[in-house]
């Protein structure tokens, strides 16, 4: 058999093993990325909830201060009520007290409403923080268990080395066609020709001229399937013995 074809057949076997490990690594990378995405999403949700908690807390503090100010205003106006010199001054004080009471009532209602929202948001923030911690732990477990998915495992690296060593023994012309077919996911980069029937596994008949070129060690590519053609001479010898 042509040494280039023998090397390509070896490459095909090695490459299948290499692809299995590569796909496994890509699956780990996908799992790693998904775990990271879930953790980051939960973290962002928790942080956003904490920001809203702080905003509502500040709002309640403002409303509480406003209510206290109203109490101060009411107390101050009541202290002046008995000293009003005119009816106009007296009514101004009464109106001021009523306005302060109305404002205080509004602020107290707002404090209650915002407080209810704040309690729900605090619960949401606590749960988001708890989920973030869990998902971060899951992410770290995936990272620890599978290692860095961006780097090949020692086994994959060893197979890649074997592939590189074997392909260095192939004529560049043969290698270029073979790797192009593999990259295109060709179902049969190498097609064996039966030396007796001149047929390929796809049922395509090869000419006598092509048979001779193959036996001369030349690169022969099937025009119909684009596969690199080769002959298993052993089959011919076995047929002769039979």
φ/ψ of 221, rounded to 5, equals -110, 130
Closest CA to 11 of 237, 236, 230: 230
Half-sphere exposure of 77 (CA within 13 A, CB side): 19
Do 121 and 17 touch, CB atoms closer than 8 A? Answer: no
Find the farthest-apart pair of alpha carbons in the chain and give their distance in angstroms, rounded.
Answer: 137
Q: Which two tokens stand for residue 153?
A: 């495992």
**Distance between CA atoms of residues 235 and 228, nearest Å:** 18
Percentage of the chain surpassing pLDDT 90? 47
- pLDDT tens across 189-228, in order? 999 999 888 898 888 898 999 999 999 999 999 988 999 9
Instruction: Give the integer Cα–Cα distance in Å for 55 and 53.
Output: 5
In three-state secondary structure terms, 170 is coil
Residue 190, H or E segment = strand 190-193
Burial of 94 by CB count in 10 Å (0-12 exposed, 13-18 middle, 19+ buried)? middle
Distances in whole angstroms, Cα of residue 29 to Cα of each of 108, 147, 164, 181 = 54, 10, 24, 26
- Note down pLDDT in tens along the chain; length 242 residues: 788 999 999 999 998 888 888 888 888 888 888 888 888 888 998 899 899 999 999 999 999 999 999 999 999 999 988 888 899 999 999 999 999 999 999 999 999 999 999 999 999 889 889 989 988 888 888 777 655 666 777 788 888 889 888 889 899 999 999 999 999 989 999 999 998 888 988 888 989 999 999 999 999 999 889 999 999 765 444 444 43
192, 201 Cβ separation under 8 angstroms = yes
């Amino acid at each position: 058999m042509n040494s280039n074809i023998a090397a390509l057949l070896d490459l095909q076997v090695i490459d299948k093993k290499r692809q299995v490990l590569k796909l496994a690594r890509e699956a780990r990378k996908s799992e790693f990325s998904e775990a990271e995405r879930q953790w980051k999403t939960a973290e962002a949700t928790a942080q956003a909830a904490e920001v809203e908690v702080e905003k509502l807390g500040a709002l309640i503090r403002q409303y509480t201060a406003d209510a206290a100010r109203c109490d101060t205003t009411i107390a101050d106006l009541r202290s002046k009520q008995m000293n009003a010199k005119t009816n106009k001054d007296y009514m101004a004080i009464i109106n001021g007290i009523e306005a302060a009471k109305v404002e205080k009532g509004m602020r107290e209602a707002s404090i209650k409403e915002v407080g209810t929202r704040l309690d729900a948001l605090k619960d949401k923030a606590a749960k988001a923080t708890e989920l973030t911690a869990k998902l971060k732990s899951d992410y770290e477990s995936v990272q620890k268990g599978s290692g860095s998915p961006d780097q090949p495992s020692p086994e994959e690296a060893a197979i890649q080395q074997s592939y590189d060593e074997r392909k260095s023994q192939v004529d560049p012309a043969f290698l270029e066609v073979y790797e192009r077919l593999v990259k295109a996911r060709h179902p049969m980069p190498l097609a064996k020709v039966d030396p007796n029937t001149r047929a390929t596994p796809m049922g395509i008949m090869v000419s006598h001229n092509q048979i001779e070129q193959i036996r001369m060690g030349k690169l022969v590519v099937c025009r119909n399937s684009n596969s690199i053609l080769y002959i298993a001479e052993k089959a011919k010898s076995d047929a002769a013995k039979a």
